[in-house]
Amino acid sequence: MSAPSVTDARYTANPTTAGEWTLEQVTGPSRLFGANGLRTGPDGRIYVAQVTGSQISALDPETGRLETISAKGGDIIAPDDVAFDPSGNLYATEVMDGRVSVRAADGTTRVLRDDVPSANGITFHQGRLFVGECREGGRLMEFDLTGSAPRILLENVPSPNAMEVGPDGLLYFPVMGANEIWRIDPDGGEPQVVAGGLGVPDSVKFDADGYIVSTQVASGQVLRIDPRTGAQVLLAQLTPGLDNCTFVDGRLFVSNFTGEITEILSGGSTQALLPGGLNWPLDLTMGDDGNLYVADGTYFYRVGPDGSLDTVAMLFSPGYPGFLRGVTASGPGEFIVTTAADTVTRYRPGGSEDEVSHILAGGVDQPYGVAVAPDGSVLVVEQGAGRLLSVRDSSTTVLASALDTPVAVAIGPDGAPLVSVAGAVVRVDGGKAAPLIDGLHTPHGILMRDGALYIVDSGSKEVVEYDLDTAARTTIATGLPVGPPPGVTPKPLKGMPPFSGPQGPFAGITGGSDGTLYISGDGDGSVLALRRNR
């Protein structure tokens, strides 16, 4: 492997525009691909696992400086938690590939085990390595460091997560499915419930006084819990989406799915060490209210006039339809979304509990782009099966098949669907797909506006304008932060059942009433605006 790179940005882009077009950032770029597992390293830095970015970074708590330790496209895929042995070797759970890998100080990496579904929580204690599977029926195990079969401590645990050995020598771990914290003797025995009635705990660490500190993913609370009595004290109230915590010289830091790293101070006050942001914005749409909405997987955001991100809902909100991919506004306060749970859903985030989500179609093999046709039917790209589907009145019809990696769909001026596929955009009519524009690299989002088709080409990092009347083709922006950085080939993200299926990129595009084009910069976690000077 190459030497670690030091950077304060996860992606460096140098965009340019052509002619009368200008480019602006609506929301700033993110510095991390979200933030999941945290662990204080031997060097005193905070090591941050980033599942969707397949990246591990080291964060200096004094300066905020980041160093990429294991980069996107490298040997470690979708790391969810990390731990260190006494020699400084880094162990990472790879939740989507069901692996545990070891990264030595010289950068070499080897897979310790590859048969650990939903491998997540991990900790080292006195030369012993413990790993848990965050899934229904998950196992808690002690690993053999030579790679031999692990010893099973406990089976059929409802989603155990980030764990730690306490001062009493017992292994403590959150059990998300039970909303409890348990403990067990590492040498064997029956588990005991330490605390219950929580806010869905997903990490356990210990402070210097021997008290449990635990993040609550659903409630956003950081709790201090007495392991002897289960008594709870609220240390801080943050936003939902908390994932893990760690101590650095007595200072407490917690992570959030958004990539925010927050220090918890005395008296319940907090300060951000690293700001949060978009993980990898996928599709976006203009709402009926004139606001821009962004699907960011585990979050659904409304973008404020000042570029702020207002959380409409997230993974643990009541009725949330699942990890979002595609989105299109379909009426006042209403959206049609596609999810990594293989569903197409009518979503009303402000509605009553029984009307928030209504599944229009299930069992769709990796649905991505979505559009509403003039007749009211919902058009959906089924990427896994290479098809374009029409959904209406709970009935699904195949409009086209044998499509090569379709991503997005738009409605042409004549009402015929247009679909972005590998290297081209095709027009679908009579069950057949014919090339409309080819010679593209990896087209993602497409948008019809005033007789022109706008295409976000993730592979060439361009936005292309195609005039349907004259067939004139113009590149209006280049060097955009979409897709992976140049020279990086990302490894596939297989998903995290039951939370999501495969997670892939989607650089979307939508348009405002004033002609502005909005693009999801999935490379650097920004939203961009292309405006034509008139």
Domain ranges, ordered by start, for the chain: 32-274, 284-490+507-532
Tokens at 349, concatenated: 């985030």
How many angstroms separate the CA atoms of 315 and 422, rounded? 31
How many angstroms separate the CA atoms of 443 and 422, rounded? 7
Q: Where residue 6 falls among pLDDT bands split at 50, 70, 90? A: very low
Q: Where residue 499 falls among pLDDT bands split at 50, 70, 90? A: confident
Q: Note the pLDDT of residue 513.
A: 94
Average pLDDT for 57-62: 97
- The lowest-confidence range among 235-239, 320-324, 491-495, 528-532 is 491-495
- The lowest-confidence range among 249-253, 305-309, 355-359, 501-505 is 501-505
pLDDT of 293 > 60? The answer is yes
β-strands 424-429, 417-421 pairing: antiparallel
Q: What is the pLDDT of residues 467-491, one digit of tens each?
A: 999 999 999 999 999 999 888 998 9
Q: Note the pLDDT of residue 5.
A: 45
Threshold 0.85, pTM exceeds:
yes
Q: Where residue 7 falls among pLDDT bands split at 50, 70, 90? A: low
Q: Which CATH class is domain 32-274?
A: mainly beta
pLDDT of 8 > 70? The answer is no
Average pLDDT for 22-41: 96
Q: How many CA atoms lie within 13 A of 466 on its CB side?
A: 24
Average pLDDT for 373-378: 96
How many angstroms separate the CA atoms of 128 and 123, rounded? 8
Report the percent of the chain where pLDDT is more than 70.
Answer: 98
Q: Where residue 333 falls among pLDDT bands split at 50, 70, 90? A: very high
Q: Note the pLDDT of residue 501.
A: 82
- In 3D space, the residue among 32, 12, 526, 5 whose CA is nearest the CA of residue 272 turns out to be 32
pLDDT of 304 > 60? The answer is yes
8 Å CB contact between 34 and 258: yes
8 Å CB contact between 522 and 281: yes
pLDDT of 31 > 50? The answer is yes
Q: Note the pLDDT of residue 9.
A: 74
Q: Which CATH class is domain 284-490+507-532?
A: mainly beta
Look over the chain and give the mean of its residue pLDDT values, rounded to a whole number.
95
Report the amino acid identity of residue 235.
L
8 Å CB contact between 347 and 378: no
How many angstroms separate the CA atoms of 414 and 450, rounded? 13
- The lowest-confidence range among 247-251, 374-378, 447-451, 485-489 is 485-489
Q: With 0-12 CB in 10 A as exposed, 13-18 as middle and 19+ as buried, what is 147?
A: middle
